[in-house]
Amino acid sequence: MKTIGIIGGMSWESSLMYYQQLNLAVKHAKGGLHSAKINLVSVDFAEIERLQHQGDWQALAEKMLAAGLSVQASGADFLLIATNTMHKVAEDVEQALSIPLLHIADATASELLKDGVKRVGLLGTQFTMQQDFYKGRLQQRGLEVLVPDDVGMALVHNIIYQELCQGKVLNSSRDVYLQEMEKLKAAGAEAIILGCTEIGLLVQQSHTAIRLYDTTAIHVSAASQFALAD
């Protein structure tokens, strides 16, 4: 079994889900007392959030690279960046490492295409919804990506940072997300990507008839399969 390297803490709420789900996946696959081999470097999200909203992606790339090199030095066989937004600097990190990086958007695109989805709605931070580093990667795989309007984007973004990243799960905010999903469905979305690793805290498939693709679960599945492959 390979050792899974993780850059986490963005936020620790979702990193907790990564740790739990990876161990459950390995336990399910191997049984008994087996658990995942994980080397985790966790950053201070307050510093990351400040630099994100200042638009200082160069400083963020340097922080992610330092964390990635630390994970690599620990003996990990491959790397996960346990957040969607910070995949904006994934290529910078990947180019400097000798171990593979499993990109969350690639894993998500593969799941969508396997299921025959061609037009998909995307919810996440404003950085993920607006910028090309994530949408563009999906579009390169032939997917059409729909996002909320500016008002909807702001609502979705603020709930992530002001609530979910702080462990607050409010029914009123779930209603906001479900309304935005319905708008995307009306615009032609066949499914919705939960494109922030905390959204799964708020919305699950049981809350809606619209097909949901939880990027945390998808990333974990890809990582566990890679770790367990011969």
For the chain, which domains are there? 4-103+218-228 (3.40.50.1860), 105-215 (3.40.50.1860)
**Model confidence at 32, in pLDDT bands (50, 70, 90)?**
very high
Q: Rounded to a whole number, what is the distance in angstroms from the first to the last CA of the chain? A: 8
Round to whole Å and give the CA distance between 19 and 71: 15
CA distance 67 to 61: 10
| pLDDT mean over 76-98 | 97
Question: Which residues neighbour 58 within 8 Å (Cβ) at sequence distance 6 or greater?
Answer: none
Kindly tell me if the per-residue pLDDT of 138 is higher than 80: yes
- Which sequence positions are flagged as catalytic? 83, 196
Does residue 110 carry a pLDDT above 90?
A: yes
The closest alpha carbon to 93, from 54, 123, 133, 129, belongs to: 133
User: What pLDDT is attached to residue 39?
Assistant: 98
Share the mean pLDDT of the chain. 97
> What single-letter amino acid sits at 12?
W
Tell me, what's the pLDDT at 104? 97
Amino acid in position 21: Q
In tens, the pLDDT along 154-210 reads 999 999 999 999 999 999 999 999 999 999 999 999 999 999 999 999 999 999 999
Give dist(CA 74, CA 95) in Å, integer.
Answer: 18
**Average pLDDT of 116-134?**
97
Amino acid 12: pLDDT: 96
Give the pLDDT of residue 93.
Answer: 97
pLDDT more than 90, % of the chain: 100
Q: Are the CB atoms for 143 and 120 separated by under 8 Å?
A: yes
Question: Are the beta carbons of 97 and 72 closer than 8 angstroms?
Answer: yes
**Which pLDDT score is estimated for 152?**
97
Instruction: Name the pTM for this structure.
Output: 0.95
Q: Does residue 230 surpass a pLDDT of 90?
A: no
Rounded distance, CA 50 to CA 200, Å? Answer: 23
Query: What is the residue-wise DSSP string for the chain?
Result: -PPEEEEE-TTHHHHHHHHHHHHHHHHHHH-TT----EEEEE--HHHHHHHHHHT-HHHHHHHHHHHHHHHHHTT-SEEEES-SGGGGGHHHHHHH-SS-B--HHHHHHHHHHHTT--EEEEES-HHHHHSHHHHHHHHHTT-EEE---HHHHHHHHHHHHHTGGGT---HHHHHHHHHHHHHHHHTT-SEEEE-STTGGGT--GGG-SSEEEEHHHHHHHHHHHHHH--
Residue 148 pLDDT: 98
pLDDT at residue 157, rounded to an integer: 97
